[in-house]
Amino acid sequence: MILGLEIQPSYIIAGGLVGGLLVVLTMLVGLRIIKFKGRRHLRVHKTLAWTLLALAAIHGFAALTYFRGWKILS
């Protein structure tokens, strides 16, 4: 339980799937298969990468909390 929200296995699975999709999207932008011109390309690529990093941290923390049975601020 994190902040009163009960962590379900489906939430962890959904977080993993969204993270995987973000990885694919970031790769496609980086390989310029999805094209942005000029500075926008780097800005989109960096924004996706930071979003992916944040989601991976949240996903990992939620999984650790679920499997360890921790109750945080409940």
pLDDT, tens digit, for every residue of 15-36? 889 999 999 999 999 899 999 8
pLDDT at res. 68: 85
Give the residue among 13, 28, 21, 31 at the shortest CA–CA distance from 51: 21
- Please, which pLDDT band fits residue 49 given cuts at 50, 70 and 90? very high
**Ranges of each domain in the chain:** 9-66
Could you tell me the pTM of the whole model? 0.76
C-alpha distances out from residue 17 to 11, 20, 46, Å: 10, 5, 20
